Amino acid sequence: MTSFSDDPLMDEAAITDGDIQGVVDVGGVKPGDNVACLVKGMLRAIGEDPEREGLAKTPFRVDQAMKALTKGYAKKVEDVVNDAIFTSDNDDIVLVKDIDIFSLCEHHLLPFYGKAHIAYIPDGKVIGISKLPRIAEIFARRLQIQEQLTVEIANAVEQVVRPRGVAVIIECAHMCMVMRGIQKVGSTTVTRSLLGAFKEDPALRNDLARMIHGEAV
């Protein structure tokens, strides 16, 4: 059976401190710079000919793609929420489920993607429901690990809505795992972050699980 350590993609032991210190520093690169020259160098390093027709524009496409996939660095939660916080008497679970998540793992710069479910229990205030997917996107469009992405979304909802509780559950497939072999194609990683009432009350978590599975409670 394949284990993580059998795969060069995941073999942390193969990377020494000397390797890390020996990486050529491209110190002149600043945030926002065009990375086309770096991509061109990478193509050469893997044995490709960056001048051939099919690759000639690739460095520029990768630059555009990387900027789009990491645009969350330039966005703030407050700007996205934009005062869409409203008074409400609703004091029960609000759930937006099956939010598409597309992110890049910070260990391999490979995609991970799947669904997020974001729930909260209002304490006098609700947030415009379309804002929850947008909050998720701010943090997904950065280099991430799924565990941290889950916590960052939960904390952001907590800070802007001040609810009685927040629950974020994310289910994703990670290309850095899936591409290793046929055995891992169907695997997904599930993470959650619970705050306030959801952390304290198992009955609320059971209700939430039923809602996520589409059952009327």
Of 48, 108, 148, 171, which one is the catalytic site residue? 108
- Residue 66 CA to chain centroid, in angstroms? 14
Cα–Cα distance for residue pair 208/94, rounded to 1 Å: 9
Active site residue 117: no
Binding-site string for Zn ion from residue 52 to residue 91, where x marks contact by CB under 5 A and - marks none: ----------------------------------------
State the catalytic residue, choosing from 37, 51, 78, 106: 106
**Distance in angstroms (rounded) separating the CA atoms of residues 126 and 142:** 27
Burial (Cβ within 10 Å: 0-12, 13-18, ≥19) of residue 122: buried
C-alpha span between 156 and 141 (Å, rounded): 15
Residue closer to Zn ion by CB (options 108, 115) is 108
Q: Of residues 108, 115, 184, 199, which one binds Zn ion by CB under 5 A?
A: 108
Say whether residue 104 binds Zn ion (CB under 5 A).
Answer: no
Catalytic residue among 48, 107, 158, 171: 107
Q: In the set 93, 161, 176, 197, which binds Zn ion (CB under 5 A)?
A: 176
Helix (H) or strand (E) holding 120, with range, is strand 111-121
Residues with catalytic roles: 105-108, 146, 174, 176
Binding residues for Zn ion, per CB under 5 A?
105, 107-108, 176
